[in-house]
Amino acid sequence: MDASALHTPVMLERTLELLAPAIEAAAAAGRAPLVIDGTLGMGGHTEAMLAAHPTLSVAGIDRDPDAIRLAGERLARFGERFIPVRTTYDRIDLALEAAGRPVADGILLDLGVSSLQLDAADRGFAYAKDAPLDMRMGQEGEVTAATILAERSDRELSRLFKVYGDEKLADRYARAIVAARAETPIETSAQLVDILQAATPRALANQGHPAKRVFQALRIEVNQELAILERTMPAAIESLAVGGRLVVLAYQSLEDRIVKRALQAASASTAPRDLPVELPEHAPHLRLLVRGAGQADDAERAANPRATPVRLRAAERIRPADPTRTSSGEQS
């Protein structure tokens, strides 16, 4: 399987542009730069970064063993400059340990489900393909989409669809699922799609696929995506060297809200309003690099539909976490 043929990286040029100054500054200072690709996937972003910067190393994180294997094959020509790390992207500490560094010059997070997972017919991520309702990104753990549908009450399912899917018909769909499972277990994506379509009022049948938000909610719950992202953002900020840059690509509003909140908090002064002089400990840790959220242009959206919902946010670390850490990322 050719990883490069399976994956078109989203907003690749803009991502490279934003990370480049931090990578080049580290190289100019005589250090071998390090970027952590927290969501390695098929390795498209990592490949482009390694090709563009000959002294750069990238520690690529992914929980999916298939992604680690395929990306490793794609990036083999870069030798030890590519460092695979199989874990969830909140474990930035493990990536730094694997690379032998205290901090990184850049961190990239391309959130959501990867092309590999969407396109794999046997994983159950895509409502357009009949497959077992698994949805585990890393294939570990016992909770699958099928077990959630089998074990949660209608009230719990409704809340899940509302909170993680913003589904207006959450109550109706939850009741339909509970009624259907009383007749036969819901084990495949086709079964679930049929249940949701049958429960959708005819007047709303043409307003998007009824399974889209439900599948999103199930995937987020199975993989604990939002909980992991909540842990990741402060870890990523604290893992950057001064001058290091963080770029995050989010594809749905719940993810983007977490990212936005974390970056805004770290880029704002914490000094009390009545304090006449801002003390060093109150100064912001970050400088925002993008006003609001960046989006893919019309040409990229037309060429790669998966770029349509993306929201890009980026920031630069402007002061260390403590006075003993220098801008080179080494302890003084």
Q: What is the DSSP letter of 211?
A: T
d(CA 53, CA 40): 18
Tokens of 126: 């895509």
The H or E element containing residue 28 is helix 12-28
Closest CA to 25 of 316, 262, 304: 316
Tokens of 59: 């520690």
CB count within 10 Å of CB 107 equals 30
Q: What is the DSSP letter of 131?
A: -
CB contact at 8 A, 80 and 110: no
d(CA 318, CA 130): 49
Tokens of 185: 């277990």
Compute φ and ψ for 296, nearest 5 degrees. -70, 145
Q: Is 89 annotated as a binding residue?
A: yes
Closest CA to 103 of 236, 10, 6: 236
Q: Going by C-beta distance under 8 Å and a sequence separation of 6 or more, which residues neighbour residue 222?
A: 135, 136, 143, 144, 145, 148
Task: Tell me the helix, strand and coil percentages in the chain, rounded to 5.
Answer: 45, 15, 40
d(CA 90, CA 107): 12
Tally helices (H) and strands (E) across the chain: 14, 7
Q: Is 117 annotated as a binding residue?
A: yes
Compute φ and ψ for 47, nearest 5 degrees. -60, -45
The H or E element containing residue 34 is strand 34-37
State the amino acid at position 253 in one-letter form.
S
Q: Give the residue ranges of the annotated binding site.
A: 43-45, 62, 89, 110, 117
Q: Give the residue ranges of the annotated binding site for S-adenosyl-L-methionine.
A: 43-45, 62, 89, 110, 117
